[in-house]
Chain A
Amino acid sequence: DIQMTQSPSSLSASVGDRVTITCRASQSINTYLNWYQQKPGRAPKLLIYAASTLYSAVPSRFSGSGSGTDFTLTISSLQPEDFATYYCQQSHSTPPTFGQGTKLEIK
């Protein structure tokens, strides 16, 4: 199975900050990498697919990049509604696997 490792596991930041979350795959997954956002008590939501394609209605302050084994999710200017847990997920091969999550908290 492909292992997905996110860093950091948690992050404190302030409204307006630029934040970057990293996701590393244990082997090359090309650009078969998706990002999800989950708020407490809610289902996850798709943010970005194919490493860098913004999903419908997702604000442009979110962006993704990377290929091969190293990927990043960047939020250019944090808004209060962005404080949540973020997960990466590879869709290169079965089983599709998720990172352990990065909890983004208010500083």
Chain B
Amino acid sequence: DVQLVESGGDLVQPGGSLRLSCASSGFTFSSYAMTWVRQAPGKGLEWVSSINYSGDTTYYAASVKGRFTISRDNSKNTLYLHMNSLRADDTAVYYCTRGGFYSGSYLDYWGRGTLVTVSS
């Protein structure tokens, strides 16, 4: 079975940094694009960033561009999200998802999410 397990969420002060990880299993990780989606408390879904299968092309939402970096280690079947200069409005559950890079794609598997809280 496909599994995506996020980790790394924590309480962090404004301006701080955090690295989220997403360990995958049950599929050939290196063959799939991957995406981070977040959901602020009580709010809707927001696309954050996507990376292609090889890791050489990335996209970011305007709200995180220049502060967040998506990356992957295909040898470890793991996706990452490096988050710098965190702000209160980055507080959200962050979901790791499979797919979502190309036109016409969809997010067919989601992890359970990891909570990032930015507060002093």
Residues of A within 8 A of B (CB): 32, 34, 36, 38, 42-46, 49-50, 55, 87, 89, 91-101
Contacts and interface: CB of A to CB of B under 8 A. Distances in A.
Interface string B29-52: 000000000000000111100100
A95 B108 contact: no
Contact of A34 (B44, B107, B110, B111): B107
Top 10 A-B pairs, shortest CB-CB distance = A43-B110, A49-B106, A98-B45, A34-B106, A101-B44, A96-B47, A46-B108, A100-B44, A94-B59, A32-B104
B109 to A, nearest CB: 8
B95 A98 contact: no
Contact of B107 (A42, A46, A99): A46
Q: Is the interface of A mostly helix, strand, loop or mixed?
A: loop
B120 interface: no
A106 to B, nearest CB: 20
B17 to A, nearest CB: 23
B108 A91 contact: no
B103 A32 contact: yes
B103 A95 contact: no
Interface in B92-120: 95, 100, 102-108, 110-113
Contact of B113 (A43, A55, A93): A43
Contacts of B50: 94, 96
Contacts of B44: 87, 98-101
Contact of A93 (B100, B103, B107, B110): B103
A43 B93 CA distance: 10
Contacts of A96: 47, 50, 100
A95 B110 contact: no
Contacts of B46: 98
A43 B47 CA distance: 14
